[in-house]
Amino acid sequence: MTSGDGVTPAGRASEHAFFVVAALFFAASVTTTIVWCVSMSAMDGMPMPGGWTMSMMWMRMPGQAWHEAAMSFLVMWTVMMVAMMLPSLLPMLRRYRQAIGSNGGVRLDRLTMLVGAGYFTPWVVFGLAVFPVGTILADVTMRADGVARAVPIAAGVIVLIAGAAQFTRWKARHLACCREEPGSRTIAADGATAVRHGLRLGLHCAGCCANLMAILLVLGMMDLFAMAMVTAGITLERLAPDGARAARAIGIVTIGAGLLLIARAAGWG
């Protein structure tokens, strides 16, 4: 039997289970991220020339091998990405389930998990690239006082550029792909197609969010306030009725923040 909206009881149960599992994943990732951020903030960072502090995130613990530090960072990064991206990923996963519909049958939940795994794969690769770059830059900064003093202004410039990127065609194209409605095309209900679909979504998302993620990296990856603001921006431009307008509004605010950071670093305010 089906209800007035054409959804069977089994379909409703599957949809309910989908949202419950997503909520549990989100709650677990947010809780773990907060615990890590609090534990990191409890560790004294390294005061740097220029009046800022180097986070312990980019430093190896005594006796810790490089690959152990990299693995620790990657686990932390992946959990953080789940916390930040799941709110905006959820509508995309729901559209996938609607596009599959009855073609997925009992495999629908498994296919949805494969889409999610494919989606987060580019973010894991992104984390693999971020860690060595971050550690190298941290090492250079700790060895060169001139570089350390330039970091606050450089951070402001990066935030300014990230805000300007909100107005580019690159941003608009990737954002449109992230907000794409299912349309009339049929998606094959098989594992390989599910993974490819997730990878495509993840690549577009990484391209769309790269500038906002750059803000988080320069302001402090374990800064809960910065993380919340970036997450809110990413979610808003994905879910707002007019995504392009939301992206431009976020760009204006970000440019203002970049100018403020530059002014403070230069001692103008």
Taking only the tens place, the pLDDT of each residue in 193-208 is 999 999 999 999 999 9
Per the DSSP assignment, residues forming a β-bridge with 47 are 53
- Residue 2: inside a domain: no
pLDDT of residue 100: 83
Alpha-carbon distance of 113 to 98, in angstroms, equals: 15
Across-strand partners of 48?
Answer: 52
* The predicted structure's pLDDT at residue 46: 78
Asked if residue 105 is part of any domain, the answer here is yes
Q: Which of 205, 40, 214 is nearest to 133 (CA)?
A: 214
- Residue 230 lies inside a defined structural domain of this protein: yes
Residue 158 in any domain: the answer is yes
Q: What is the pLDDT of residues 117-171, one digit of tens each?
A: 999 999 999 999 999 998 898 889 888 889 889 999 999 999 999 999 999 999 9
Is residue 4 one of the residues assigned to a domain? no
1: in domain: no
Which residues, in sequence order, are CB contacts of 4 under 8 Å at separation 6+?
none
Residue percentage of the chain with pLDDT more than 70? 90
Residue 184 located in a structural domain: yes
- What are the Cα distances from residue 177, in Å, to 33, 98, 244, 268? 28, 17, 12, 41
Q: What share of the chain is helix, strand, coil (3-state, %, to 5)?
A: 80, 0, 20
Tell me which residue range forms the domain holding 229.
9-265
Q: Which residue has the tokens 């860690």?
A: 131
Split at pLDDT 50, 70, 90, the class of 67 is confident
**Over pLDDT 90: what percentage of the chain?**
56
Q: What is the pLDDT of residue 30?
A: 95
At residue 43, does pLDDT exceed 80? no
**């789940």: which residue's tokens?**
82
- The total number of structural domains in the chain stands at 1
Tell me the pLDDT band of 263, cut-offs 50, 70 and 90: very high
The CA distance from 239 to 198, in Å, is: 18
pLDDT: is 212 or 47 the higher one?
A: 212
Q: Phi and psi for 182 in degrees, rounded to 5?
A: -60, -35
